[in-house]
Amino acid sequence: MTDSALITAARQLSSEVARLRFSLPVTHVYNSAGTFTVRLRITDGSGQTASGETTVTVKSVTGRWTLGTTANFYDITQNGSSLTGTFSAGPGVRTISGTVQTAAPIVSFTESLGSVFAGTPNGDVTVVSGTLNGTTAAGLTRQ
């Protein structure tokens, strides 16, 4: 296939089917955690086709996370690639908002007072190692 060939595809994401024209790579953001079957069939400009299927497991950062060894914690809700929640430190509670991305840093959010956390979770999403305001942080641990 030449670089100038048009590519069309039928992409089936669980029960959702999307027919589209696109450039590679193909990405999709799931709105919930779970295990999904992804099927992709590609047809080039001359009618040649190729297809494949794989299973993907999507994990979520929704939950309560402690910051290092402190009693401070984040209550985070993930909806697709968006994060919202609160940070509790002593008597104060601050709101947070951020994103989950496909490239590092995977998780990033800002507290209402301006602190910024950015990090990457481990494989089973129980620890997120990263930086707080640009300085290496002790990380977040799922409770």
Query: In the numeric block, which tokens belong to residue 35?
Result: 């295990």
Report d(CA 142, CA 4) in Å as an integer.
Answer: 47
Kindly report the number of other CB atoms within 10 A of residue 63's CB atom.
16
Kindly report the number of other CB atoms within 10 A of residue 130's CB atom.
21
Identify the three-state secondary structure at position 31: coil
CA angle at residue 143 from 34 to 82, to 5 degrees? 50
pLDDT at 45: 74
pLDDT at 128: 92
What parts of the chain have a pLDDT lower than 70?
A: 1-26
